[in-house]
């Protein structure tokens, strides 16, 4: 709550057995209607989901010549990711260009 005179933050202090709001400018208030009322309004956030075609996303990845263990096609997309401790090498993931089978190579 803020002081109506100087707009500073009011401090709660005890005055005998009552609690009052005080300000450094000298303002004091113990009125019930001057106390802040907290009202909570929960609004439902909308979640937007973008649908991306797998093929479109894959086309941005680099390709490498390797054999797919499932269909034996000779081209695959690849990306690397750190899946273990930082002193270990990255893991290379591959996805077949033809059947979209995914596998990984640990170096």
Residue 90, pLDDT > 80, answer yes
Out of 87, 90, 97, 105, the active site residue is 87
Task: Report CA torsion sign: 21, 26, 27, 29.
Answer: positive
Q: Is the pTM of this model over 0.85?
A: no
Annotated active-site residue 105? The verdict is no
The CATH number of the structural domain formed by 54-106 is 2.20.25.10
User: What is residue 32's predicted lDDT score, i.e. its pLDDT?
Assistant: 46
Q: Which two tokens stand for residue 71?
A: 């269909």
User: What is residue 42's predicted lDDT score, i.e. its pLDDT?
Assistant: 72
Q: Lowest-confidence range among 8-17, 68-77, 90-99?
A: 8-17
Question: How sure is the predictor about 77, in pLDDT bands with cuts at 50, 70 and 90?
Answer: very high
Annotated active-site residue 67? The verdict is no
Out of 57, 88, 90, 105, the active site residue is 88
- The domain spans of the chain are 1-36, 54-106
Average pLDDT, stretch 73-83?
Answer: 90
């Amino acid at each position: 709550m803020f002081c109506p005179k100087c707009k500073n933050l009011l401090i709660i202090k005890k005055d005998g057995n009552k609690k009052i709001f005080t300000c450094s400018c000298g303002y004091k208030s113990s009125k019930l209607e001057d106390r802040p009322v907290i009202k909570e309004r929960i609004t439902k956030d909308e979640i937007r989901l973008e649908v991306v075609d797998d093929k479109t996303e894959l086309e941005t990845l680099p390709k490498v010549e390797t054999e797919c263990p499932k269909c034996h096609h000779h081209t695959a997309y690849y990306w690397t990711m750190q899946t273990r401790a930082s002193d270990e090498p990255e893991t290379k993931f591959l996805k077949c260009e033809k059947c979209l089978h995914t596998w990984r190579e640990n170096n």
